[in-house]
Copies of this chain bind each other. A is one copy, B any other.
Amino acid sequence: MPNLSKNRQDPALVALGEALRRIRLNHDISQERLALLAEVDRSYVGRVERGDNNVALLTLLKLANALNITAAELMVEAGL
């Protein structure tokens, strides 16, 4: 059993990741494309979508903007 970081699988991070994934798929874009648009590493998008990363605000904004939504809309979609 790998050593899970203490933030891993926090319900809020999982909810954010699932919301990000839903919106990304609605936009029919790949993780690679989102990473490119948001100027983050591709593996980072994967970690966020799996709920493995306690995303900081400025990155949240980059991801939301890359999907043409606001951070508030992303929070609403995630139920946060």
Contact = CB atoms under 8 A, between A and B. Distances in A.
Interface stretch (A6-14, A29-37, A39-47): A6-14
A55 B54 contact: no
A76 B72 contact: yes
The main secondary structure of chain A at its interface with chain B is: helix
Contacts of A58: 7, 10, 12-13, 54
Contact of A57 (B12, B70, B72, B76): B12
A60 interface: yes
Nearest to A58: B54
A61 B54 CA distance: 11
Contacts of A61: 12, 80
Nearest to A75: B72
